[in-house]
Chain A
């Protein structure tokens, strides 16, 4: 089989990218989705707060996904569900399987939109036993929201990522007692609004600089031992406390699912764990684009959609007008910036480009500073935090002559 464009992943990123590519003129395209329905992880996010930025209204996850699914359907964009991509080659051959067989599709362009997965508890140095009752927060969310089973009644949550915060509220609303949320860092990785609405409103303690050191219980969890950590994130002897519980949820980070990407030999950014891309979200391989959480973990789906549309339009441009030789301007993460996407800009770009980045540590009163050759720009923020993605806009063609662009964040004097 041949296709102009294959979109891998039918979550919000893949759907928005497909719709944008279609609207830019691509007709021969298909979305490959491994689950039985498109929509990605939003399907199990029944809480609201989605779409505030983009649509100025608060929707649930399924409602937000529905909008894009409807858009794709209205355009009769093919979505193959229950279809799992097993391999991607640098020549853009996409191998996939479904109940009809094992197939290979030759694509002129590919958009990677595989999303991310939760870092597992297995990746943590937690001592003790390995009983039933240990769940990734997203797995617990699926049991509760999709299947209607409440994993347990007394819960300790490790990690204050957004899924963990949302699940603290969800489990509480369903009648479970959430004893505490432990966060190893001195700040939460989640959105401020989630801390307020999911923990504070329910009186659930957020224990910063705390971690779980061991799990007790042979068959089912009976308790965990938590402890305070020092600056090196190591448990401090003598601060251990035993908390009885029957369930532990882990919300300890999200990792872009780039197994296919690695298989195609595409290099990843050590910080984002996603591809290195330019402002059109084109990867190192011509005609392969990436967007959404497979590129870097976003905290709001609104920005996923925005980024996916960029990738979709770029893929269309590539397909309809051919590859263009580009001069690149590297984009660098400066002081107090943990990563920045895109990692390089088309130096001749005429249109404004949004740079997405995260800070390393929280600041009250911050200045975002952009430097590129003689170009200087600074933007003030009331507050910045690692849990909230920041954005700043530049126009590449106005940076003429610069060898690189660097974004830093300083405390406001």
Chain B
């Protein structure tokens, strides 16, 4: 019996769990996939929005601003790289410049600090890669960038270090009342009991709500496709550059990532059902749109392309609050800026749920997650010291990203542990570089076999039936 069951191990669920651990409550995260950060939290722009986009007075605007203000500290506590690189909205021509003034006014109303309009000259001086057609810009110094799955994994890890549990492969498909409590059933027959359920199921939030008899909202899906370029192209811009927003959303942006790559996207495609496949026309569309605001993007340096799904609610705002069904809390429709908002939503929900449970403060709670050592970021002296302590840090497994055996073993042994090739990749960047795992994948594969006693045909790319080897042994 748990006090709280959180459905969904995305960034929203992760921060709910993390902040709930400040109270004396037992918490379990139920995640359908074989790893956390399986939905929108793995595939998005990774922008910590300043907060000028959301309509004033909405939950989005409020949580965005609060989340933005929390992000620096949260990342420091969790050992996650965060960079306040500043955002620029680039306008081309008088019509778009007028929209900048609207954004500025809205941002100020929302409480965003430091917003400034830039003249054409100032804009190009601030960000030399801006396209010739850019005639003015809005500058938001508090915009930042973060690794979305790194943040999610670290928040779950910190929650687990403080006692939270994680059940992966648990797809909630049914629930039964049991007195005041809920018995929650997974597709595979497992079940757990909880006093309070928090629905953070992203694209699955509507389905999960219906399990409890709540059909008060609809979740729609809008796909966003991206291109990711190699580090050699990553220094083209230092700020996150947006076009002026349109009805379709914030548009195709160009931004460095915290790991030094260049990300270009997302597109915006309405879908019947959530689907992360790329359309054929996506590549040309992204390149064409990005060229309006930034010049000289080295598309030849593309190392991968991917898509994420925005799960938006028909009310076009976040839904955060108690559901009409007793004992069920909702965090649904968490589309952008959901990543930015996650710490703020997490604190808010944790406090609401703790109050309901009349939970006491947990004095033993530690907000700190020790950052796993990252060879790539160490000086030669630090490397020597690390290798002296553990020789596995002197063995490079992924040559493109310079990931060591020590880091991979740590990813298999640190909460939440990786069980799949992608799990290792998201935690260590092994396989995320220019060769995309061409060299290191078999090595990681062997480490997974050794660590978990898997047979070759049991190792998966990303859980489920995503088996790597299907032709058998020779």
A residues lining the B interface (CB < 8 Å):
34, 82, 84, 86, 95, 97-102, 104, 117-118, 120-123, 125-133, 136, 138-139, 142-144, 146-153, 171, 174-176, 213-214, 216, 219-220, 235, 246-247, 257, 259, 262
User: Cβ of B434 and Cβ of A120 under 8 Å apart?
Assistant: yes
B residues lining the A interface (CB < 8 Å): 228, 232, 276-280, 282-283, 302-306, 380-381, 383-384, 387-388, 391-392, 394-396, 399-400, 402, 434-439, 441-442, 445-446, 456, 460-462, 464-474
Of B282, B402, B435, B441, chain A has the most CB atoms within 10 Å of the CB of B435
The reply to whether A100 and B387 form a contact with Cβ atoms under 8 Å apart is yes
- A131 contacts B396, C-beta separation under 8 Å: no
Q: Across the interface, which residues of A come within 8 angstroms of B400, CB to CB?
A: 259
Asked whether A146 lies within 8 Å of B442 as measured between CB atoms, the reply is yes
Tell me whether B438 and A127 are in contact (CB under 8 A). no
Q: Enumerate 11 A-B pairs (CB-CB under 8 Å) in ascending A order.
A: A82-B395, A86-B402, A95-B380, A100-B394, A117-B439, A122-B302, A127-B279, A136-B435, A150-B469, A150-B472, A219-B467
| Interface pair A123/B470, CB less than 8 Å apart | no
Q: How far is the CB of B204 from chain A (nearest CB, A)?
A: 15
Distance (Å) between the CB of B351 and the closest chain A CB?
Answer: 38
Q: How far is the CA of A144 from the CA of B302 in the complex (A)?
A: 28
CB distance from B301 to the nearest CB of A (A): 8
Q: Which of B276, B399, B470 contacts A151 (CB 8 A)?
A: B470
B400 to chain A, nearest CB (A): 8
B394 touches A149 (CB 8 A): no
Measured CA separation A132–B139 after assembly (Å): 42
The residues of B that contact A171 with a CB separation of less than 8 Å are 471
Known A-B contacts A128-B277, A132-B461, A133-B470; A120 and B387 likewise in contact (beta carbons under 8 Å):
no
If A102-B387, A104-B380, A120-B303 touch, whether A151 touches B438 (CB-CB below 8 Å) is no
- Interface residue from A82, A120, A132 paired with B436 (Cβ < 8 Å): A120
From the candidates B437, B460, B464, B471, name the one contacting A149 in the complex (CB within 8 A). Answer: B471
Task: Decide: A122 near B436, CB < 8 A? Known: A99-B394, A149-B473.
Answer: yes
Instruction: Determine if B438 and A150 form an interchain contact, defined as CB atoms under 8 angstroms apart.
Output: no
**CB < 8 Å: which of B280, B395, B434, B435 contacts A214?**
B280
Chain B residues within 8 Å of A104, by CB: 380
Which residue among B381, B391, B471 has the maximum number of chain A CB atoms within 10 Å of its CB?
A: B471
Q: Which residues of A contact B303 (CB under 8 A)?
A: 120, 122-123
| A220 pairs with B305, CB closer than 8 A | no
In the complex, A247 Cα to B441 Cα: how many Å? Answer: 16
B387 with A142: CB separation less than 8 A: no
Q: Report Cα–Cα, A98/B306, bound state, in Å.
A: 35
Q: A128: shortest Cβ distance to chain B, in Å?
A: 5
Taking CB atoms, residues of chain B closer than 8 Å to A117 are: 434-435, 438-439
For A125, the chain B residues whose CB sits under 8 A away are 280, 283, 305
Task: Give A67 to B473 CA distance when docked, in angstroms.
Answer: 30
Known contacts A84-B396, A99-B387, A117-B435; A220/B465 CB under 8 A: yes
B residues within 8 A CB of A139? 437-439, 441-442
A37 to B433, CA, bound (A): 24
Q: How far is the CA of A215 from the CA of B238 in the complex (A)?
A: 34
Bound form: Cα–Cα A294–B278 in Å: 33
Please name all residues of chain A whose beta carbon is closer than 8 Å to the beta carbon of B305 when the two chains form the complex.
122, 125
CA distance A142 to B282 in the complex (A): 33
Contacting pair A102 B380 (CB below 8 A): yes
Pairwise interchain contact A152-B466, C-beta atoms closer than 8 A: no
Min distance, Cβ A96 to any Cβ of chain B, angstroms: 10
Across the interface, B438 reaches (CB within 8 A) one of A120, A153, A214, namely A120
Min CB–CB distance B290 → chain A (angstroms): 15
A121 to B278, CA, bound (A): 14
Complex Cα–Cα for A410 and B277 (A): 46
Residue from the list A84, A100, A151 in contact with B468, Cβ < 8 A: A151
How distant is the Cα of A95 from the Cα of B302 in the complex, in angstroms? 29
- Contact between A127 and B278 (Cβ–Cβ < 8 Å)? yes
Q: How far is the CB of B460 from chain A (nearest CB, A)?
A: 7
Other than A102-B383, A151-B470, give 10 A-B pairs with Cβ distance below 8 A: A99-B392, A101-B387, A102-B380, A120-B436, A125-B280, A131-B466, A149-B474, A150-B471, A151-B469, A220-B470
| Interchain CB contact under 8 A, B280 and A213 | yes
Residues of chain B within 8 A of A102, CB atoms compared = 380-381, 383-384, 387, 394
How many angstroms from the CA of A84 to the CA of B461 in the assembled complex? 27
Which of B395, B437, B439, B466 is the one whose CB lies under 8 Å from A220?
Answer: B466
Shortest Cβ distance from A262 into B: residue: B232
Inter-chain contacts of B474 with A (CB < 8 A): 144, 148-150, 174
Contact A120 B435 (CB under 8 A): yes
Q: Nearest Cβ in chain A — how far from B304, in angstroms?
A: 4
Q: Are A220 and B467 in contact (CB under 8 A)?
A: yes
Nearest neighbor of B227 in chain A, beta-carbon distance: A125
Instruction: Give every chain B residue within 8 A of A259 (Cβ-Cβ).
Output: 400
Determine the chain B residues whose CB is within 8 A of the CB of A123 once the complex forms. 302-303
Chain A residues within 8 Å of B469, by CB: 143, 149-152
In the bound complex, how far is the Cα of B303 from the Cα of A123, in angstroms? 5
In the complex the two chains form, is B465's CB within 8 Å of A219's CB? yes
A65 to chain B, nearest CB (A): 18
Evaluate contact between B277 and A127: CB separation under 8 angstroms. yes
Shortest A230–chain B CB gap in Å is: 15
How far is B466's CA from A133's CA once the two chains are assembled, in angstroms?
8
Q: How far apart are the CA atoms of A131 and B470 in the complex, in Å?
A: 13
Residues of chain B within 8 A (CB-CB) of A153 are 470-471
Most buried by B among A99, A102, A216: A102
Which chain B residues lie closer than 8 Å to A213 at the CB level?
280
**Which residues of the other chain, A, contact B380 by a CB distance below 8 angstroms?**
95, 102, 104
Closest-by-CB residue of B relative to A145 is B474
Using CB atoms, name the residue of chain B closest to A143: B442
**Closest chain A CB from B40 CB (angstroms):** 16
Q: Which residues in B have their C-beta under 8 angstroms from that of A95?
A: 380
**How far, in whole Å, are A142 and B443 apart by their CA atoms in the complex?**
10
Q: How far is the CA of A95 from the CA of B399 in the complex (A)?
A: 15
Contacts of A130 in B (CB 8 A): 276, 306
CB neighbours (8 Å) of A120 from chain B are 303-304, 434-438
Give the CA-CA distance A136 to B462 in the complex, in Å: 18
